[in-house]
């Protein structure tokens, strides 16, 4: 995680002030969630970067709130282009037990990430990101 944040910081002109991690018992669930977020979030600039528009934050809020509930409707699933029986579909159709955590920055390389993080509700992630965008 330390290396990942360091790599992201290298490509970002702003200091990273907030970092979040999603944990699950199953690694493939987290990979599926990341693919789903990349597929459904609007305002993608390139790679991991998105423009922090109201539309982006509304979509992110909706997605993270639905993450553990598996409450996506048939219409939402049907609207996705090229969605096959991959991990994104599984994430939308079933309940999950993701843990969302906020990492305390700066990261100490000698402390496990989970010990340097606190549990956070998904909608609080979106709220903190919005506040950070306004203050930049």
Half-sphere exposure of 102 (CA within 13 A, CB side): 16
For tokens 């597929």, what's the residue?
Answer: 39
Average pLDDT over residues 108-124: 83
Domain boundaries, the chain: 2-135
The per-residue DSSP string of 57-124 comes to: HHHHHHHHHHTTTT---HHHHHTSTT--SSHHHHHHHS----EEEEEPSSPPTTS-GGGGEEE--HHH
- What's the pTM value of the predicted model, to 2 decimals? 0.76
The answer to whether 23 and 98 have CB atoms below 8 angstroms apart is yes
- Rounded mean pLDDT of the chain? 81
Residue with more model confidence, 131 or 85: 131
Statement: residue 89 has pLDDT above 60? yes
Token couple for 133? 């965008």
Statement: residue 78 has pLDDT above 70? yes
Q: How confident is the model at residue 136 (pLDDT cuts 50, 70, 90)?
A: low
């Amino acid at each position: 995680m330390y290396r990942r944040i360091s790599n992201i910081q290298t490509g970002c002109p702003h200091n990273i002030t907030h970092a979040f991690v999603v944990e699950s018992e199953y690694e493939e669930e987290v990979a599926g969630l990341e693919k789903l977020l990349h597929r459904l979030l609007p305002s993608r600039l390139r790679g991991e970067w998105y423009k922090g528009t109201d539309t982006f934050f509304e979509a992110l809020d909706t997605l993270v709130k639905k993450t553990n509930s598996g409450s996506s409707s048939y219409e939402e699933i049907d609207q996705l282009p090229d969605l096959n029986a991959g991990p994104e579909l599984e994430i939308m159709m079933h309940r999950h037990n993701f843990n969302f955590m906020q990492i305390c920055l700066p990261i100490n390389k000698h402390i496990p990430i989970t010990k340097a993080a606190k549990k956070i509700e998904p909608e609080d992630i979106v709220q903190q990101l919005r506040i950070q965008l306004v203050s930049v």
